[in-house]
């Protein structure tokens, strides 16, 4: 098939796929609110034990800590003048600009650059608030009121375990205590809420008063909403609250209800009745949240047991978000000679300590990056994107030539002076060989994975997998169709031919330097059809080999590849194996296979013109996508739509791109203790998964070879992903008309 005919076919399939969405596509790139986290740890363990937080009129952030009060100004923590030593329990910034601190030894006030202790109060103060004409301070001994220029004790009796007090003119004073919610109105009425029909539980940790007069009580067990003194709503895990252990409650500037829990910050949007959760080190210094306050820009300042976190907001478009990720990618994720993959962080979470790191799939993910830049160039005509794609292709070509073979391609390369690579060379003992073969009869001992280049400058890694080869051929297909220079097309023709010929010479397997096939580089009929240990891979590996051959024929025009393709279909039934290439057997299903098949279908569906074979490939394509339609993957959704799929959820794809965090650090995100999900063993048997798809902001950073349903995923923040998992589907979606340009 000629390139011009390819584009005609591609445009046709895209139009067919888009017909049912014609009125809604492209989805306009309207500005949206992007949340992100900034950490503000304090100097010592005691200072990081933050109990309460508030923001003053000038934007200063006040924190009550185990070691006393601290204030954050211009990004620097300090101890305010005349602050006492010892634990502080509460901080309150009043409407006049003063900051009040409840401490172990009484009450302090800070104003106009100075501070002092209230001499009249020498007992612990755990809560402070203001009324129009007074300041109220409560603790385990008394309730104090400052009015008329003097402090007075309030004689009202209440449970003394006071965690928070709040006041509104229309409903009076509300006190959250360990034994119920106490209300004293200006009319003199005393109401005490503690019964099960009044509160979720009597252990009330926080109270927030809405502008609509409703009272939100945060209790051990959930939230209670009171309207005109009567319970009108309750929120527990049964109503979507992710964690029962409520520590505080606040109402955000946009009206959302923020609930601090032992598992992070949960937010309720009453307009949609949807909960969201901000947890893990991606969003918070610790999941145990003690208090929440908001600044004038709508940013949330959060007191945790390990420091202060800020969840900030800014307005972005998807195009601006793409620029953000591209900047990160080129600052930290391109290592010589042009490998693009994740980097390690010597200090977890600190991107200033980044260092290059090798990965088994460096080659295929550099090809993934190359495709990203090809689509970016096709959309924007940015010369830099074209140059990046060329450099990535040069790297892939070097992975082949560095081996000194006619067509074997390395997994990755590193400078020859590296000595901390993954999977170093080793001696495999007879005992380990036996043990490994018993556990996996297909296991192959590879003692020498790393070999020096002829010039001694590089070490290259062998035992290349099928994952790498399908990733490269997908890259070759994209490079040939999207690169607009004939000299570059000739380069990809030559490389495609070398690798394809090498696989054919190996009997449709990828033979390593030792003359035997690599552990995973197997596509031959004698293995897939004759060896029962390869039964699980029959469908996907047969599909891959057909794609290699069809792509090689498309790029080179050499009929021998078409002849091999037709022989495998006629003599070995490879097309029938491809019909249901994706396996849904619970013990054999993997999301790695989902990604590998997504690399195979574009070329097969675009280059095949036999109606019978095309029908089989479309059936295979639909069979593959039926198990992915709920994954809300922008990459899989857009691929399915671009090559003829129906009902491929472009809205879900764009929502993913918007909701995905700006932070690419691989933090561990544990959803296994959430009470708003059920843990199941589906769609795969292992590991444990959630029964509903959580939004990307509540999961670990994703690559599309990972299971998005996993309840626990990620690491300890010791590496950062490259951003290609976001950028490639974004530019793919732009190219195929699913995402529009930013709205001006």
Return phi, psi of residue 134, to 5°. -160, 165
Whether residue 1 lies inside any domain: the answer is no
Q: Are residues 185 and 254 in the same domain?
A: yes
* Residues 22-55 as b or e (16 or more Cβ within 10 Å = b): eeebbbebeeeebbbbeebebeeeebbbbbbbbb
- 225 in Cβ contact with 237 (< 8 Å): no
Q: Are residues 210 and 341 in the same domain?
A: no
Whether residue 539 lies inside any domain: the answer is no
Strands 517-522 and 88-93, bridge-based pairing? unpaired
Q: Where do we find the tokens 């109402």?
A: 251
- How many domains does the chain divide into? 2
Number of H helices, E strands in the chain: 17, 43
- Taking the C-alpha atoms of residue 486 and residue 490, their distance in angstroms, rounded to an integer, is 6
Q: Can you tell me whether residue 502 is helix, strand or coil?
A: helix
Whether residue 44 lies inside any domain: the answer is yes
Q: What is the dihedral sign for C-alpha 234, 236, 242, 244? A: positive
Q: Are residues 284 and 182 in the same domain?
A: yes
Q: Are residues 20 and 89 in the same domain?
A: no
Q: 297, 316, 335 — which closes off a domain? A: 316
Closest listed residue to residue 596, CA positions, set 647, 640, 543:
543
- Taking the C-alpha atoms of residue 69 and residue 47, their distance in angstroms, rounded to an integer, is 8
- CA 635 from chain centre, in angstroms, equals 14
Q: Containing H/E element for 268?
A: strand 264-269
- Taking the C-alpha atoms of residue 647 and residue 638, their distance in angstroms, rounded to an integer, is 11
- Tokens representing residue 96 in the block: 């006049």
Q: Are residues 232 and 351 in the same domain?
A: no
Whether residue 328 lies inside any domain: the answer is yes
- 742 in Cβ contact with 390 (< 8 Å): no
Amino acid 193: pLDDT? 87
- Taking the C-alpha atoms of residue 527 and residue 482, their distance in angstroms, rounded to an integer, is 35
Q: What is the dihedral sign for C-alpha 52, 122, 204, 57? A: negative
- Taking the C-alpha atoms of residue 656 and residue 634, their distance in angstroms, rounded to an integer, is 7
Q: Are residues 224 and 324 in the same domain?
A: no
Q: Are residues 154 and 202 in the same domain?
A: yes
Strands 264-269 and 274-278, bridge-based pairing? antiparallel
Return phi, psi of residue 348, to 5°. -50, 130
Q: pLDDT for 427-462, tens place per residue?
A: 999 999 999 999 999 999 999 999 999 999 999 999
Residues of the chain with pLDDT under 70: 1-23, 744
Whether residue 128 lies inside any domain: the answer is yes
- What ranges make up the beta strands (E) of 383-448? 413-415
Whether residue 159 lies inside any domain: the answer is yes
Amino acid 356: pLDDT? 97
Q: Can you tell me whether residue 248 is helix, strand or coil?
A: strand
User: Which range marks the domain in which residue 726 is found?
Assistant: 12-31+317-356+628-744
- Tokens representing residue 444 in the block: 């192959």
Cα dihedral 213, 218, 219, 225, rounded to 10, equals: 30
CATH number at residue 307: 2.130.10.10
718 exposure class (CB count in 10 Å sphere: 0-12, 13-18, 19+) = middle
- Taking the C-alpha atoms of residue 207 and residue 479, their distance in angstroms, rounded to an integer, is 59
* pTM summary value: 0.95
Q: Are residues 222 and 304 in the same domain?
A: yes
Q: Can you tell me whether residue 318 is helix, strand or coil?
A: helix
Amino acid 5: pLDDT? 43
Q: Are residues 349 and 250 in the same domain?
A: no
Whether residue 272 lies inside any domain: the answer is yes
- Taking the C-alpha atoms of residue 48 and residue 290, their distance in angstroms, rounded to an integer, is 12
Q: Can you tell me whether residue 544 is helix, strand or coil?
A: helix
Amino acid 744: pLDDT? 66
- Taking the C-alpha atoms of residue 403 and residue 391, their distance in angstroms, rounded to an integer, is 19
Whether residue 65 lies inside any domain: the answer is yes
Residue 426: Cβ within 10 Å count? 12
Q: Are residues 87 and 23 in the same domain?
A: no
Q: Are residues 27 and 37 in the same domain?
A: no
Amino acid 16: pLDDT? 38
Q: Are residues 239 and 332 in the same domain?
A: no
- 293 in Cβ contact with 309 (< 8 Å): no
């Amino acid at each position: 098939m000629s390139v011009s005919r390819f584009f005609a076919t591609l445009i046709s399939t895209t139009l067919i796929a888009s017909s049912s969405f014609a009125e809604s596509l492209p989805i306009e790139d309207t500005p949206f609110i992007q949340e992100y986290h900034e950490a503000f740890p304090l100097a010592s363990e005691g200072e990081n034990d933050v109990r309460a937080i508030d923001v003053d009129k000038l934007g200063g952030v006040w924190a009550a800590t185990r070691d006393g009060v601290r204030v954050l100004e211009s990004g620097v923590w300090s101890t305010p003048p005349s602050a006492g030593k010892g634990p502080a329990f509460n901080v309150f910034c009043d409407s006049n600009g003063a900051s009040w601190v409840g401490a172990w030894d009484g009450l302090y006030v800070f104003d106009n650059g100075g501070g002092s202790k209230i001499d009249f109060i020498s007992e612990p103060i755990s809560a402070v608030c203001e009324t129009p004409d007074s300041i109220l301070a409560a603790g385990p001994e008394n309730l104090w009121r400052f009015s008329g220029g003097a402090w007075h004790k309030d004689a009202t009796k209440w449970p003394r375990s006071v965690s928070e007090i709040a006041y509104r003119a229309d409903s009076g004073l509300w006190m959250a205590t360990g034994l119920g919610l106490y209300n004293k109105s200006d009319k003199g009425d005393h109401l005490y809420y503690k019964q099960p029909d009044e509160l979720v539980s009597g252990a009330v940790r926080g109270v927030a008063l809405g502008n609509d007069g409703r009272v939100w009580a945060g209790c051990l067990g959930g939230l209670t909403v009171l309207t005109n003194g009567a319970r009108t709503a309750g929120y527990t895990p049964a109503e979507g609250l992710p964690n029962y252990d409520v520590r505080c409650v606040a109402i955000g500037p946009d009206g959302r209800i923020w609930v601090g829990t032992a598992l992070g910050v949960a937010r309720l949007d009453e307009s949609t009745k949807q909960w969201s959760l901000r947890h893990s080190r991606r969003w918070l210094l610790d999941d145990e949240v003690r208090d929440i306050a908001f600044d004038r820009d709508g940013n949330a300042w959060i007191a945790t047991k390990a420091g202060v976190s800020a969840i900030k907001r800014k307005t972005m478009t998807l195009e601006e978000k793409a620029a953000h990720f591209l900047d990160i990618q080129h600052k930290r994720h391109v290592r010589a000679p042009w490998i693009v993959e994740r980097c390690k962080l010597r200090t977890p979470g600190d991107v200033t300590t980044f260092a290059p790191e090798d990965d088994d799939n460096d080659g295929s993910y550099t090809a993934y990056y190359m495709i990203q830049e090809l689509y970016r160039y096709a959309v924007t005509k940015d010369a830099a994107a074209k140059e990046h794609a060329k450099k990535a292709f040069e790297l892939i070509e070097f992975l082949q030539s560095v081996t000194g073979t006619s067509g074997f391609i390395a997994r990755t390369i590193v400078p020859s002076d590296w000595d901390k690579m993954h999977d170093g060379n080793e001696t495999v003992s007879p005992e380990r060989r036996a043990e490994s073969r018993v556990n996996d009869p297909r296991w192959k001992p590879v003692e020498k994975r790393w070999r020096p280049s002829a010039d001694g400058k590089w070490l290259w890694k062998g035992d290349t997998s099928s994952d790498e080869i399908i990733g490269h051929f997908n890259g070759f297909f994209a490079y040939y169709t999207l690169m607009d220079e004939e000299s570059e097309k000739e380069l990809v023709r030559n490389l495609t031919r070398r690798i394809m010929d090498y696989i054919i010479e190996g009997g449709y397997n990828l033979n390593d330097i030792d003359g035997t096939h690599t552990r995973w580089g197997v596509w031959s009929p004698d293995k897939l059809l004759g060896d029962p240990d390869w039964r699980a891979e029959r469908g996907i590996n047969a599909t891959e080999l057909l794609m290699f051959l069809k792509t090689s024929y498309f790029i080179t025009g050499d009929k021998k590849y078409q002849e091999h393709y037709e022989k495998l279909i006629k003599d070995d039934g490879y097309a029938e194996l491809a019909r249901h290439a994706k396996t849904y057997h619970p013990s054999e299903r993997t999301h790695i296979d989902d990604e590998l098949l997504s690399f195979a279908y574009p070329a097969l569906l675009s280059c095949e013109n036999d109606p019978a074979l095309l029908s089989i490939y479309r059936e295979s394509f639909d069979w593959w996508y039926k198990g992915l339609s709920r994954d809300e993957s922008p990459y899989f959704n857009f691929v399915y739509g671009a090559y003829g799929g129906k009902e491929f959820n472009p809205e879900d794809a764009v929502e993913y791109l918007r909701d995905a965090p700006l932070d690419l650090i691989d933090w561990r995100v544990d959803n296994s203790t959430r009470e708003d999900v059920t843990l199941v063993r589906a769609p795969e048997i292992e590991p444990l998964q959630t029964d509903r798809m959580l939004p990307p902001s509540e999961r670990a950073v994703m690559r599309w070879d990972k299971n998005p349903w996993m309840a626990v995923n990620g690491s300890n923040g010791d590496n950062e992903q490259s951003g290609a998992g976001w950028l490639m589907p974004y530019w793919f979606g732009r190219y195929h008309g699913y995402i529009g340009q930013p709205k001006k």
